[in-house]
Amino acid sequence: MTGSVGKVDVVMAGVGGQGVITMASVLADAALRLGYNAIVAETHGLSQRGGTVIVHVRLGDVEAPLIMEGSGDLLLSLEANEAIRYLKYVRKGAVVVTDMRIIRPPLPNIEVPSLGEILEALEKAEVAAYPVNAVGEAEALGNARAANMYVLGYALAVHGYGGMVTLDSLKEAVRSRVRSPESNIRVLEKGYNDGLKASKI
């Protein structure tokens, strides 16, 4: 995507310990480095391990921190169930990038949809859905904890963040905000390259 649009609303979801908040801070930092406005708001959930986490990132011509239901442009999810849970925040035609990993909640007797049911729900939704194996790809590069960077890079390729973020600005943000930056950058680049391939199919 070339040039910038007025604003881009990004909803990020996952569970505690997956790095949703880090993913949001890197994206916002990357936009700020290019001179664009960025607002981050953690709106719900607990960032401790196992609790659901949702973060809103608004880029460009925005003032209020929260994204209204049905208006988001992009949903990035680090866990498949969370993608379905927060699908209500994005508009028709939005892009959804989600890891296919399913993490069972710590509470007993909670029924969790199967991956097949989740993929079917995404297919029925009026969105451009990209289910990915973020954890597997990150693990293959020696840093399973960098699955969030895979999703971030993949979304850059298939969505573009309205032209307000580049691969270089994401790399710079990773170097300033993430431990073990070089391994995270390798995963970021892999996600971006895989996303480019998917966008050409």
pLDDT digits (tens, 9 = 90+) for 30-72: 999 999 999 999 875 554 555 789 999 999 999 889 999 999 9
> So where are the chain's domains?
7-103+114-199
Coil vs helix vs strand at 37? coil
pLDDT at 1: 40
pLDDT at 105: 72
pTM over 0.85: yes
Please state, in angstroms and rounded to a whole number, the distance separating the CA atoms of residues 100 and 96: 12
Best CATH choice for the domain 7-103+114-199 from the list 3.60.10.10, 3.30.565.10, 3.40.920.10, 3.40.50.300: 3.40.920.10
Q: What is the mean pLDDT of residues 177-194?
A: 96
pLDDT at 133: 97
Please state, in angstroms and rounded to a whole number, the distance separating the CA atoms of residues 153 and 193: 8
Task: Write the burial class of residue 163 (CB in 10 Å: 0-12 exposed, 13-18 middle, 19+ buried).
Answer: middle
Does 90 have pLDDT greater than 60?
A: yes
Pairing label, strands 72-77, 90-99: parallel
Give buried/exposed letters for 14-45 (b at 16+ CB in 10 A, else e). bbbebbbbbbbbbbbbbbbbbebebbbebeeb
